[in-house]
Amino acid sequence: MKKHIVLLPGDGIGKEVMESAKAVLNTIAEEFNHSFSFESHDIGGAAIDRHGNPLPPETTAACKKADAVLLGAVGGPKWDANPSHLRPERGLLGIRKELGLFANLRPIKGFEKLLHSSPLKEEVVKGSDLLIVRELTGGLYFGTPSERRDNGQVVVDTLFYTRSEIERIVDKAFQCAQQRRGHLTSVDKANVLESSKLWREVVEKKKQQYPDVTVEHVLVDAAAMKLITNPSQFDVIVTENMFGDILSDEASVLTGSLGMLPSASLREDGFGLYEPVHGSAPDIAGKGVANPVAMILSAAMMLRHSFQLTVEADVIEDTVESILNAGFHTADLKNAGKKVGTEEMTSLIIGSIKTRSAANCIMSC
């Protein structure tokens, strides 16, 4: 299979973990006889520094022509004082909007042998396996332009959704639930927000089309509590943009680290940009200690969702799990075993993929 992939490493550890994902993809290409070509472009702070724009038009144009896009992370203290239109995060929001990536799938599954890495009790984390379906191109992030009035003493951010924006993400979440354990939790703040009332109305109407899926509504504050007291009650969670952002970072503690969570940001026709849930981690950037697992698993999601390369995606996911099970871990995971850096972790994963395919060949070639 021949595919062209645009890489947007971005800033901080985004650049470091992107190297890992690219190396793993090159290994998959060699072992499974695929041809992956790569083209890197600037986004975020790197793009501000080089082009004076967090999302240069050539970056958007390249993404639109690609078969899929991989994104590292954007942001950092260097640009924190910039005016809003010159913030790295604008680049990320811009590319999501430009590409129409309305559905952000964030799977969260604690690996069996890493349960003790979570600060939560093992018996709480055990059995948790959930998917957050986060609406990604609406809500507070994309309301009418935010503004400051009265000498900056009054601020306005607006939360805006159309019925059809809610319908398409709710449909996506129902479909995901059908492919999983058939339970959907819709998270909102319908006791206060008008947007949440419409959200709940849409879910109630849509559920008639998906009789095989059970549905419950949970208010976001309670959902935050339930996620860390009884996470195994969740299968698929569907929620609006900002609630999904916050709840997914919270849910990462189930896996032991934010550095473990991958995601897929999908358009209606299935086109995808794949990005770890974490940010540019300025506190550890440049030290070679970042956990590359979230980025590598995002590349696996790309193989599965965009290229239908199920076996190859399984190989990456199984290999990552086996390396972690063997006790190798980056510093963010509180684990016994051997602490390794980004490069060593990547090499271990690559070495194991190669050994695995050599063993398969001996058995089947």
For the annotated catalytic residues, the residue numbers are 141, 189, 221, 245, 249
Which of these segments, 162-170, 183-191, 266-274, 277-285, binds ligand NAD (CB under 6 A)? 277-285
Which of these segments, 86-94, 115-123, 238-246, 262-270, binds Mn ion (CB under 5 A)? 238-246
Ligand-binding site membership of 327 (annotated) = no
Ligand-binding site membership of 77 (annotated) = yes
Residue 105, H or E segment:
strand 103-109
- Contact with ligand IPM (CB under 6 A) among 11, 42, 245, 312: 245
Rounded to a whole number of angstroms, the minimum distance from the CB of residue 75 to ligand IPM is 6
Give dist(CA 244, CA 114) in Å, integer: 24
**Binding-residue pattern over the window 37 to 76 for ligand IPM, x denoting contact by CB under 6 A:** --------------------------------------x-
Show contacts with ligand NAD in window 54-83 (CB under 6 A): 73-76
Q: Is the dihedral of CA 42, 159, 262, 67 positive or negative?
A: negative
**Cβ 278 vs Cβ 259: under 8 Å:** yes
Give dist(CA 6, CA 61) in Å, integer: 10
- Contact with Mn ion (CB under 5 A) among 245, 312, 317, 332: 245
Report the alpha-carbon angle 20-22-28, nearest 5: 105
**Cβ 233 vs Cβ 90: under 8 Å:** no
Site size with Mn ion, rule: CB under 5 A: 1
Ligand-binding site membership of 88 (annotated) = yes
**Which CB, 186 or 257, lies closer to ligand NAD?**
257
229-254 burial, b if ≥16 CB within 10 A, otherwise e?
eebeebbbbbbbbbbbbebbebbbbb
Answer yes or no whether residue 30 interacts with ligand IPM by CB under 6 A: no
Give dist(CA 299, CA 351) in Å, integer: 17
Answer yes or no whether residue 165 interacts with Mn ion by CB under 5 A: no
Q: Which residues are annotated as a binding site for NAD(+)?
A: 76-89, 279-291
Which residue ranges make up the annotated binding site for substrate? 96, 106, 134, 221
